[in-house]
Structure 1
């Protein structure tokens, strides 16, 4: 019998179910959930349910248990960002504004989620708190993806219903893909980022990991209730059947994919065209160039060094050896290269906008390969190679400031391959509405096959 018996109201039921799932796999829970408030969360859930019975209110996220990435302030918890460097810092005095908004919307805070140290890594390794593993592949211990590793595992295993995460180069979408769930990165400024520990102020945005696109849309409506600033016609088309949608695939993408990913992507595209969506393959050099420009300009390294220089000067030895040395390289970035890269990204954003005329979203796989095993990443050169490859398809959305979502290709049989849809800047709601339609089409095709 569960230590956390089912309760009557939606909040109590959600929290009880999440706690029971954590109890079923304590080793996975220990890696995904770093700080917990089990009994307090149950008490809060019961109180919310009782209050809702007496005075029904507007709580759009009622029945969702919330995990928060360790780079966001939560009152009473240390915002250590997955690093022992900050493990003895004072606890946060108050919740980050975005955490407050989620809780006011009805989500019940349950746990702090593990992450790559200071969000500087796309594979999810953490030398201090341990490395969460994907639940989608049992042939060997395989990484969950990063940097939001703990949130993705917690959602995939049912230990939370919703994870608040950050995304710099794919940190919401890569682990979502590797763990068979959905990860959403919004346009900059859509969600408040105060109280978030930055890696790169130019590219960091808060994001969402949930079981599917419909849940991501539900959360977005709670956090950003106003509709997109763009065309109402585009939003209406995105909510209509797939026959009204136009997708593009950059023509260089399929050459980047491992065979398993290429087969899944091809099947998904065939399914969407069969459901009536229009699809065309087009040259989009701005997609590939945006990542190269940011790397050559050293934007992330320079900004990470700027933020961490005082700590690195006195405490470099306490940094993860795969994080601290890469931050130190930021001291060598010339100012002219950094500024030239920022300027070139503005031009590439305009090129993307022009290439997307008449299109609703770019479709690619989220990650070009399956999750690597821990053994494959023991060598540092191999780690750096696989780390760069992991964000090779996701990073353009950050560099060009675009909303982007990774979808599980099959909601019934969740694999470690994700389908990514990337939209137009500021067109977050339209993208999410289209993503829900994509999931419905893929789900219908899977049911027909079975």
Structure 2
């Protein structure tokens, strides 16, 4: 599949045009059932025409001028409706302005192809949507698998090669999980890295943004564009200075599938052989965070319930995905005293993880399992709830502690389904994380080529 940076190079050399890129993307999008809630066909074609003229005149707005990308339907695009994946918002007013990150990409000449599908109100890690359909990845397995959520359509748009990159949001794992299930790279930023202006909220303390792409290098380039930077300032770190802490307690979890564990350990051995320092030990702050969530509940659920209670309990509640509605209702009994305790513990654990890692990156599986079969989850709500919780259980740790994370494909299981490794850093250390992941990507790619 063509990457963002490769496409930019082809534009620079005159080997393609924005007209051609957008036309091909629209054709592919029409064949990707349920990936998009809305396609911006006419405006994308017009934007491509203008971009093609700029390239012919030698005045492109940036190296990415004319490259199409996909937008999760949780971000405002001026003149379109933000549905948040819910039919309860089909009569919501049209956005009168672009979300700030959309405006930044537009200023670079990038073209929003359309709004991608998602779990209703972004409140599920599995990606099913009974209202707009559930997107399907291009997987070499007979049984249909879940796409991961909530940013299902954005991940599938990249996985199927419709676009080279897409935007998602992440509150409990909504970028990292679908990236893992679909064998692409997903970067969840620290909450303060991008403006959330024009992004439909779910849990404001935890809501964050980030890109999907085929490579870490593409994510770094898109990250710079999303922040309005002229070019990426992040360079690959020195691999021999890189310290990685693999949480052995997580690897000992009985629910961890063998291929997920095996592929993570193989990746670590490759990086160790190339000079990285790899430590295996239990991380106390991770264990304490898991215990906190299990004992007191999920902070994101408390905030989501507060935001959506009127819809859930009002006349529109019956129109919601019953599984999302039930999960939201489960948070209504969590009282203010428990919430205060969670917030205090969160602050303490954020400081503790930074001390404990001491400059190292945390390494865990992104998800304990490969993408599960869809049919049983559609038929059994109790199974759906249990699998959803297992799916999000590792990414929720980084979300609660506001850790930026990069989900990187690590291989496949015997059936050919993707596995993934999650690299995370303490809050605000996004640049160091991305630089380290750039260095690791180069090493892993070279090892794959040699192998």
TM-score (norm 2): 0.90
1:217-228 to 2 correspondences below 5 Å: 217-224=220-227
1:180 to 2:187 alignment: no
Structure 1 Cα separation of the partners of residues 404 and 164 of structure 2:
22
- CA deviations over 1:289-310 (Å, ceiling 9, x no partner): 3244245244222211211122
- CA deviations over 1:99-153 (Å, ceiling 9, x no partner): 1111112211101100000111001111111112232342310011000000000
Q: CA deviation at 1:10?
A: 4.4
Q: CA deviation at 1:31?
A: 1.0
Secondary structure at the aligned position of 1:418 is classed as strand
Aligned to 1:135: 138
Aligned to 1:262: 261
1:75-224 to 2 correspondences below 5 Å: 75-224=78-227
Task: Describe the shift of the 1:417–1:21 C-alpha distance in structure 2 as closer, same or farther (beyond 3 A).
Answer: same
1:13-412 to 2 correspondences below 5 Å: 13-23=20-30, 26=31, 29-54=32-57, 56-224=59-227, 239-256=236-253, 257-294=256-293, 296-314=296-314, 315-359=316-360, 361-377=361-377, 378-409=379-410
Aligned to 1:427: 429
Q: Is the 8 A contact 1:123 1:387 kept in 2?
A: yes
- CA deviations over 1:138-176 (Å, ceiling 9, x no partner): 231001100000000001111122211100111001101
Q: Is the 8 A contact 1:137 1:416 kept in 2?
A: no
Structure 2 Cα separation of the partners of residues 226 and 88 of structure 1:
36
Structure 2 Cα separation of the partners of residues 358 and 186 of structure 1:
18
Q: Is the 8 A contact 2:76 2:95 kept in 1?
A: yes
Q: CA deviation at 1:241?
A: 4.1
Aligned to 1:3: none
- CA deviations over 1:371-424 (Å, ceiling 9, x no partner): 00012312112111111111122122111111101112369xx95211211123
Structure 1's unaligned 5+ residue stretches are: 1-5
Q: Is the 8 A contact 1:10 1:62 kept in 2?
A: no
Secondary structure at the aligned position of 2:330 is classed as helix
Structure 1 Cα separation of the partners of residues 104 and 261 of structure 2:
39
Q: How many residues align?
A: 430
Secondary structure at the aligned position of 2:84 is classed as coil
Q: CA deviation at 1:225?
A: 6.1
Structure 1 Cα separation of the partners of residues 435 and 263 of structure 2:
22
Structure 2 Cα separation of the partners of residues 51 and 139 of structure 1:
45
Bigger Cα displacement from structure 2, 248-257 vs 182-191: 248-257
Structure 1 Cα separation of the partners of residues 61 and 78 of structure 2:
24
Structure 2 Cα separation of the partners of residues 21 and 120 of structure 1:
27
Q: Is the 8 A contact 1:408 1:415 kept in 2?
A: no
TM-score (norm 1): 0.90
Q: Is the 8 A contact 2:350 2:426 kept in 1?
A: no
Q: Is the 8 A contact 1:82 1:115 kept in 2?
A: yes
Secondary structure at the aligned position of 1:331 is classed as coil
Structure 2 Cα separation of the partners of residues 432 and 15 of structure 1:
29
Q: Is the 8 A contact 1:64 1:162 kept in 2?
A: no
Structure 2's unaligned 5+ residue stretches are: 1-10
Aligned to 1:441: 443
Q: Is the 8 A contact 1:208 1:216 kept in 2?
A: yes
Q: Is the 8 A contact 2:73 2:117 kept in 1?
A: yes
Q: CA deviation at 1:349?
A: 0.6
